[in-house]
Amino acid sequence: MQPLYEGKAKRLYTTDDPNVLRMEYKDEATAFNAEKKAEFENKGRLNTAITLAMYRMLEAKGVETHLIDQVDDINLLVKNVDILMVEVIVRNIAAGSFCKRVGVEEGVEFNTPIVEFSYKSDELGDPLINDDYAREMGLATPEECAELKQKALVVNEVMIDFFNRCGLKLVDFKIEFGRTKDDEAKIVLADEISPDTCRLWDIETGKKMDKDRFRQDLGDVMGAYEEVLKRVESAI
C-alpha cells in the first residue's frame, strides 16, 4: 500500500475511515536537514511507544491530541487533521540551533521558556519565522499564533513536571499542531513526542538521552531511547 505521505521518520497511510490515518514510525534517523542519515533497529518501535505514552499522559492533563489508538508496535491510528505548516519549538535550556544562532553556551537555563516558530519546509530547512511572517505567509492568523504559543507553554509545563519524575531535564522540544476537519475545527497536538523531537538530559549525570547522541556521534543512541521509554512507562 502506498503511503499518503512519507516524511523523514514516519509514513502516513489512509484507512477505511476518511477521518482516520495510520501513522507508521520508521527506523530511519536524519539530522541537519537530512544531510546525515542512519538506520537504527527498533527506533520506530521505541518512538511509537514513547509518543503513545506521552500523548496519553498529556490527554489525561487536558491537552487534546490527534491520537486515537495503537495498532501495533510501530503504528498508531490518528485523526486526519490539517497540519499547520508552523513548527513550534519551546526552549528551557540553551542548546542546538539556539546556541549556534546567538553564541550562547549550551546548558544556560532560561528564566522563562522561549517559544519559537519555524516554517515547516524541508526544502528551506525549516527556517525561523515569527507571528508576522506566519500572518503574511497565510500559515496562521495572529490569534492562531497566540493559541499555538499558549498551548505549547501548557505542554511544556506538563512535560517538565513529567520528565522530572523520570529523572530527566526537558531542555527543548518541537511540536506540531493540526486542525480537526469537523465543524469544531479545533487545534490539537499532532505528529510525535520522542527523543527525536525533544532534548532530554539525565538529571543526575547530565547524560544526553536524545537524538543529539546521533547528531554528535555520542554512541549508544538506541540504549538511551530504550532507557527513556523505561522511565516514561514507570512514571505513567
Any idea which residue has 513536571 for its cell? Answer: 161
213 contributes a contact to ligand UDP by CB under 6 A = no
Residue 214 within binding range of ligand UDP, rule CB under 6 A: no
Q: Which of residues 22-81 bind ligand UDP (CB under 6 A)?
A: none
> 21 or 209: whose CB is closer to ligand UDP?
209
Minimum distance of ligand UDP from residue 89's CB (angstroms): 5
Stretch that binds ligand UDP, among 21-29, 50-58, 167-175, 178-186 (CB under 6 A): 167-175
Q: Which is nearer to ligand UDP, 64 or 106 (CB)?
A: 106
211 near ligand UDP, rule: CB under 6 A: yes
Question: 52 or 117: whose CB is closer to ligand UDP?
Answer: 117
Options 72-80, 170-178, 182-190, 225-233: segment touching ligand UDP (CB under 6 A): 170-178
**Residues 6+ away with beta carbon under 8 Å from 84:** 120, 139, 140, 144, 148, 176, 177, 178, 179, 187
Three-state SS sequence of 137-199: CCCCCHHHHHHHHHHHHHHHHHHHHHHHHCCEEEEEEEEEEEECCCCCCCEEEECCCCCCCEE
Q: Report how far Cα 225 is from the mean position of its chain's Cα atoms.
A: 14
